[in-house]
Chain A
Amino acid sequence: MNILIVDDSAAIRKILQRVLGQAKVPISQVYEAGDGFEALEMLKAHDIGLVLSDINMPNMDGLQLLSQVRAAEQWKNVPFIMITTEGSQAKVMEAVQLGASGYVRKPFTPDQIKEKLAGLV
């Protein structure tokens, strides 16, 4: 399975790459994007099986990305996990209503990410 990490922070992308390397899920390739626009290009170019995305990003944020992903026939069932500092109930509800498969608040432990992956993959 190919996984796409979407976060404007290179530090978080590096941490998530490391966590994915430790997770007990079959991973073919991990791709990275710095915002929603780059993520859409990655989704078009590769067969992505899971998206891990931040919310607050420049150009196109994670909620806008999620909305576009769910509106596209070919991606509407791709698991999409939000990983964000946005912790208000309103943001969580917005993400769930748009079709998020999971929601992890930063700061996170590797085990929290692995548990979410295990539940979806």
Chain B
Amino acid sequence: MKTKLNGILTLLLALVVQVAFAQQTVTGKVIGPDGGEVIGAVVSIKGTSTFTTTDFDGKYSLLASPENVLVYSYIGYTSVEMIVGNQTNVDVTMTNNSLDTVVIQAYRKTTRLKSNIASTQLNASDIEDRPNASLLQSLQGQVPGLSVQTSSGQPGAAPFVQLRGASSLNGNTQPLYIIDGIPISGDAFAAFNPNDVENITTLIDAAATAIYGNRGANGVILITTKGGQYESPLKISYNATSGFTNFIDTDYNRFDAKGLLRFEKSRGAGLGNTLSDADIDAFAINTNWEDVFFQTGTNQNHNLSFRSGGKNITQFTSINYNESESALAGRTLQRMTFRSNVNGKSDNGKFRFGTNAFLGYSDSRTQGADGSGSVFFNPIWAANNGLPYLDPNVNTSTLLTGGAAFTFRNAPYVNLDAQRFDRDEQDKLTIQLGGDVAYDITDNFTLRYRLGLEVEQENDLDTTSPLSALARIRAGSNVEPFEGRTQQNYFRDVRMNSNLNLGWAKKFGEAENEEDKKHDVRVNGYVEYIKAHFESFGFTQVGMDPRTFSPGDGSSFIDDNGGSDNLGADAIAQKVEAGGFSVFGNIAYDYDGKYGFEATVRRDKSFRFIYNDGWGTFYAAALRWNVSEEDFLKDNETIDLLKARLSYGAVGNDRISGGYYGARNNTRQQFSTFNGYRDTQTFVPSSVVPVSDLRWETVTTLNFGIDYSLFDQRLSGSLDLYNRVTTDLFAPQQISLVNTTDNVDKNVGSVRNNGVTLTANYNIVRATKEGGLNVNVFANGTFNDDQVLDVSPESGRIDNAGLTVLQEGQRINEFFLAEYAGVNPANGNLLFRDANGDLTETINNEDRKFTGKSVNPRFFGGFGFNASYKNFFVEAQFAYVTGTAFIDSDYDNLLDFNFAGNGNLSADLLRAWTPTNRVTDVPSLDATNINPAANSDRFLVDSDFLRLRFAQFGYNFPKSLLENSFLSGGRIFVNGENLLTFSDFRGSDPEQRRTSTFNQFPTGRTIAFGIDLNF
């Protein structure tokens, strides 16, 4: 076991005097992984006791012989060894050490050696400079057990994040996000600056998350933002990236103009039917509507930060500007953020405080009809299905006049018109404020108080200009001169979190020196209060005067003029509250770094429940054994760390209906007032059937893990096995229709996720001198086996309206479809397999089968490498997902030959069965069973994919360049997201968490160039 230098050792070493011969003075500078100077790093000569420490500028100087090996050490960093040789100046860049790395745990920090829990940590270097606007998207493939699914190409889109499978059916399954101790909602990340992040820790097992109680059931993602260091000079960093986002092409074999015209002619439909063969051969227009709607989007990001620290105070300040266009015209994100982190302490260090202030403003241009078949409102439909023989340049206002213009074929023009005139925009202001005060009452007692406030306010504007075709058509049938519609919705969401903590820590043992005592006990008690308020209001105005129209402005609003109730505004408003109160405690014990024990008990009260007075009790316990600290392994050269962990615990989930404010008053019968018969204000029982004994969903996790570090820390990682069972599942129970609804959600049912996660990092080539070749490879994988254990119907099945079912013993929401067997060579009809496996042309719901697929990944993870040589660096991160599928409804649509004349089709139809082409995969165009009575897997595609999620190549500015400049460091790089994707899907992006993909907005491919400068 390697000995690590620390303050105590430093003192001991200081007492030793050493004499050396044939020495030269070696000077240099020690740089940390963040590019900043390392102050107080120990530089020693290997095999001797000679050492020095670095000064405030990270510089050192000592006498050494050419054959000496210098060892550079600093807590938290991997020691670096350098042969002196003939060098007189040796600069060293240190990297994070996996063993001594500070492990962030709930409410406290420990080291990897003493951590009792399953957790994964990412550092700034794993996520910074990524050319995508969402921090969460960057986590894909980097955290074992964490599945990150981004289903929209909207810049900054919030991905669906899930740790170790779905623990709930209706309830929230996404993890809790904590930024600097403050719980933050998952959709706050579009307005968050990823470059502020110091590290991200994912807390995984029950022992890690129990302390977050009812909010931590699905794991906790702790984000720590950067801070300054005491006694360090001002450091300024500037970083800029600029890039391009492109649409990832589809492969649907769409007809070109001539091909489609010929096909139409053969079907007696559309324009083709009116043209002669000669006309078609001479047809000049050929439009690819994908190219019309999808373009190259540009994006840029600027980040400026300042860090400094004095004797008693440190600060970190950053400002960020981001402008991201997507591949779809008009869909953008603009963002500005500001952060200020201040930490301070009293002279004796007994009193400490910290504040975090973050302000983010973002403006997204979106479109409400993604994925819908509303052809006049969804440009992606037009891109997918626009007729190639139409010319996009003839789009004049007269083309779109009158009801007759609103045909399927003109939908691309309507969408182009809407892009020009209409606006769908969300601007969002995010404020996150955190305060943290701690006072050491005695040597053992510490009192701590944390207060967090998250404020999000958003203004959502959706306007149809009175000049747009959509407004003119409505006006035309409405005898109003103009119409147009503006909808604005404003909301403010304020969430407050208050946590009082009394901690007691003491070491016991024989040793006189406090540090050497072997029994380490920490006890913490907490009281937590959570309160949240959501308020929204908005209006829908119909009728705008085009003379004064401007999106979002009300000058043009036309009042109700009495002639028609259509004009004027409708108002809405909502106000809801949520809250919780918890008392909890945690005890952690460590014996000599060998054995650890930790236990947590908590009592939670949620505003959602009245059963059992609203209280729930949860607990967790963990055991740790550092095998490598035992005598028989302590001096083992191969094994640096071998640690076994075992934890068991239960965590509650009160977000039983998913949303933060959902299921607010499901326990009591409500009445709702509304405009009733004859416009009389009346009231009726609300349609939510009350369930008075609602209670927590309980997620119980058993976790066994091993952390390892081998071969001089060249190979390290962890292995975890888990069994995760959710009971009292908030699941639908069918009730008699004599009620106002057909089901209520009650605590019935149970699901299970079993799995294994493995991570490995291997330092294949370790540089022995500055600029030497250094190569790391890393990989992680998760296998998660999800299963429905129990649902309420006696049949053991809940049928989810068609494509998927919840069936006991099967995967959660597994696709359940009749098997498509191809084309009947005899008649061109579709062939299926019935329940008995026999071929049939007619199927019903009884013929459906389990497919093993769902929207939740089954085996997933990531791998990659990074390398550096001289000043160059390169890295690549791959991500992979298996076990997922969806129905490719886009392709289904492109094969719908009955649609000929209305939209483009796939030229695959030319392969359709005919009496002379009997063996084919495309059914006859006269097939009589094209729409079977049950859903089949004909269009089910595996959305498994492997993708080069991120790659980067760059160059660090050489010392020679920096020495005479105002810079202390810098680099340039080129990188990219989603560079390569391998999948069976013929559409654009297989990463879509949905049962059916239909005219969706896919994520694009981004390539960016950037520069980092440190002053």
A and B: real partners?
A: no
**B-side interface residues toward A, CB under 8 Å?**
none
